[in-house]
Amino acid sequence: MKVFTQISEIRAERWQNASLSWGLVPTMGYLHQGHLSLVQQARAENDRVGVSIFVNPTQFNDAKDLEGYPRNLERDLELLEIEGVDLVWTPTSEIVYPPLFQTYVEVEQITRLLEGAARPGHFRGVTTVVSKLFNVFQPHRAYFGQKDAQQVVVIKRMVEDLNFNTDIVVGAIQREADGLALSSRNVKLSPEARQQATCLYRALTQAQAAYEQGERDADKLRRMMLDVIGQASLAQEDYVSIAHPETLAELDTVEDRALFSMAVFVDGVRLIDNMLIP
Ligand code: PAF
The per-residue pLDDT for range 82-141, each reduced to its tens digit, is 999 999 999 999 999 999 999 999 999 999 999 999 999 999 999 999 999 999 999 999
Cβ of 130 closer than 6 Å to ligand 1, yes or no, is yes
Q: Where are the domains of the chain?
A: 2-171, 184-277
What is the Cα 136 distance to its own chain's centre?
Answer: 20
Query: Cα 86 to chain center, whole Å?
Result: 22
Q: Is the CB of 28 under 6 A from ligand 1?
A: yes
CATH 3.40.50.620 holds for 2-171: yes
- Is pLDDT above 90 for 41? yes
Atom of ligand 1 at shortest distance to CA of 59?
Answer: 10
What separation in angstroms does the CA of 43 have from each of 26, 36, 57, 138, 270? Answer: 14, 10, 28, 16, 31
3.40.50.1100, 3.40.30.10, 3.30.1300.10, 1.10.533.10: CATH of 184-277: 3.30.1300.10
Residues 64 and 101: beta-carbon distance below 8 Å: no
Residue nearest to atom 2 of ligand 1 (CA): 27
Per-residue pLDDT reduced to its tens digit, 193-251: 999 999 999 999 999 999 999 999 999 999 999 999 999 999 999 999 999 999 999 99
Model confidence pLDDT, tens digit, residues 146-192: 999 999 999 999 999 999 999 999 999 999 999 999 998 999 999 99
The answer, yes or no, to whether any atom of ligand 1 lies below 6 A from the CB of 155, is: no
Rg, the chain, Cα only: 19
Could you tell me the pLDDT band of residue 37, with boundaries at 50, 70 and 90? Answer: very high
Task: Report helix, strand or coil for 147.
Answer: coil
Q: Which of 151, 153, 156, 174 to mutate to test the pocket of ligand 1 (most atoms within 8 A of CB)?
A: 151
Just list the catalytic residues: 35
What is the whole-number distance in angstroms between the Cα of residue 123 and the centre of ligand 1? 10
156-162 CB contacts, 8 Å cutoff, 24+ apart: 157/107, 157/110, 158/105, 158/107, 158/127, 158/130, 158/131, 161/107, 162/105, 162/131
